[in-house]
A and B are shown apart, each in its own frame.
Chain A
Amino acid sequence: MSADDNKEDISGQSRQNRWLTFNVLRYNPSDPASKPRLQAYKLEDADSMTLFIALNEIREHQDPTLQFDFVCRAGICGSCAMMVNGRPQLACRTLTRNLPAETTLAPLPFFELIGDLSVNTGKWMRGMSERLQAWLHGQEVEVDPRRIEERMNPELAEQIYELDRCVECGCCVAACGTAQMRQDFVGAVGFGKIARFRLDPRDVRQDDDYYELIGDDTGVFGCMSLLACQDVCPKSLPLQTQIAFLRRKMAVTGAGL
């Protein structure tokens, strides 16, 4: 903010960057005296700056107490999801030039709040994985290292990979009106996992088994198809078609049609 106040671009013209205001929700749940409030931080916009960089700037130069999560900075780890102007987004994939002059930042709802913008998505994701048994249920056979592995059709592998791209950032659950009202709802991330293992020929589970996991109102029949999950997914996963597909399969399996 000192030497490069007036930056020069390639054409040699000096350019004034605009100033951004971030209204950040501050709250420390472990401090009984803490009350949720919005705190404003001002920062000069910079070329190619992401929200993640902006928050680090703020923490480094303005307020070392500001809490937020990040690991990879590249949209892979899914740690930096937060509510940006009311919608869940990954901070590292949000360019500040696409933000209005004033931006509100809040933690993801639904998940356990650690403090400020930091939430414990991992805890919930683990619980969800355990509840849905979101791991490969293979046949109990001894592995023979001398045998050639079972082949998989590349198209099928591609489909499984497509669903495996989920980074468990929690955006889909934070955007889901159903989940906000009903804390025990599985959420799109969970349906994505079931859809993924359902596709996998190495998983021995059948639709009857999956029905036990998601065949009720906390599962796929609880989905009200508000579809914000799909609209905010930073990985653009095909959540609507997957949930609709699971709903059809579970309805047929469950109703005994």
Chain B
Amino acid sequence: MLYETVIAQAGLADKAGKNRWPARLDILQSSTGLFLALFMWGHMAFVASILFGESAMWAITKFFEGYFVFGASHPWLVSCVVGFVALVFVVHAFLAVRKFPINYRQFRIIFAHSRAMRHEDTTLWLWQAGTGFLLFFFASAHLYQMFVWPQNIGPYASSDRMWSDGLWPFYLTLLLAVELHGGIGLYRLAVKWGWPNASREALKILKWVLTAFFLVLGLATLGAYMKIGYAHRAHYGERYTPDWVTERLPDVQQEDAR
């Protein structure tokens, strides 16, 4: 048996030498959370492009498929990004679950504590933990879907998913969970590390403004996809190609017809 293993099993690892892992894991938990929250802002901006019309969203999806660089669509590029995000997500979930109440005693005490204290930040933490728990399942399902079928992201494909595939309740839940979790998480990061060094009141106001903004934007976006999906229900499966592309770049249509 390894020398270190013997010492670690005896519970003496920390006596044998400095353990750098608690610090590293804490930094990793915060930084993966920060990355995911910022990614979700960008993600929201991209999906919300549908509010500017089908062709705006089409251009963004094609951009990420490398169409404007390589002259042809490569959805696997999207899979690469999804794969990386999924990896960060799993690391974050693995680390963050350490903070959850994990047995009946902890559950009972944290709920009674929160109810009796009526303390906003404590209550917000419970919401963060609860929405985080939901994301284990909802975000995983979404990431898997995007990883395996990256070609099904587009003005009509995404709208069909919302309406004809009936996934809008799934996305509505995901939206609420992500925005609450991310907004509270970013606020917590700021007070946890003391940066930006603003008052908690100011940070809290900023947090709520951001959450409200992204929720409104997200709901409007979801509504837009549902509306398009409803109008497009008779042509389920058909892909969108802007007029200006069909005229000038016929290969796009072939690409999308696959």
Contact = CB atoms under 8 A, between A and B. Distances in A.
Contacts of A251: 23, 26-27
Contact of A226 (B18, B98, B109, B122): B122
A220 to B, nearest CB: 8
B20 interface: yes
B110 A247 contact: no
B192 interface: yes
B234 interface: no
Interface residues of A, number: 37
B122 A177 contact: yes
Contacts of B195: 244
B110 A181 contact: yes
B125 A177 contact: yes
Nearest to A252: B23
Interface in A221-257: 221, 223-228, 231, 240-241, 244-245, 247-248, 250-256
B23 A255 contact: yes
Most chain A beta carbons < 10 A, residue from B20, B27, B117, B118 = B117
A244 B122 contact: no
B73 to A, nearest CB: 41
Given A224-B125, A253-B23, A248 B194 contact: yes
Contact-residue bracket for chain B: 20 to 34
A interface secondary structure, majority = helix
Nearest to A231: B119
B146 interface: no
B188 interface: yes
A221 B25 contact: yes
Interface string B106-126: 100110011111110110010
Contact of B119 (A180, A217, A228, A253): A228
Contacts of B117: 86-87, 175, 177, 228
Interface in A165-197: 175, 177, 180-182
B207 to A, nearest CB: 13
A226 B23 contact: no
A180 to B, nearest CB: 5
Contacts of B191: 225, 227, 240, 244
Contacts of B194: 240-241, 244-245, 247-248
A69 interface: no
B110 A254 contact: no
A255 B122 contact: no
Contacts of B116: 83, 86-87
Given A83-B116, A231-B119, A254 B20 contact: yes
A45 interface: no
A182 B19 CA distance: 21
A181 B109 contact: yes
Contacts of B26: 221, 247, 251
B23 A215 contact: yes
A240 B188 CA distance: 11
B192 A226 contact: no
B23 A180 contact: no
B22 interface: yes
B83 interface: no
A212 B192 CA distance: 20
The 8 closest A-B pairs by CB, nearest first: A254-B23, A244-B194, A86-B116, A225-B192, A221-B26, A255-B23, A216-B22, A181-B106
Interface of A: 83, 86-87, 109, 175, 177, 180-182, 208, 211-212, 215-217, 219, 221, 223-228, 231, 240-241, 244-245, 247-248, 250-256
Interface of B: 14, 18-20, 22-27, 98-99, 101, 106, 109-110, 113-119, 121-122, 125, 188, 191-195, 200
Given A87-B117, A221-B25, A224-B188, 17 more contacts: A86-B118, A175-B117, A177-B125, A180-B110, A181-B101, A181-B109, A215-B23, A221-B23, A223-B192, A227-B121, A228-B119, A231-B121, A240-B194, A245-B194, A254-B20, A254-B22, A256-B20
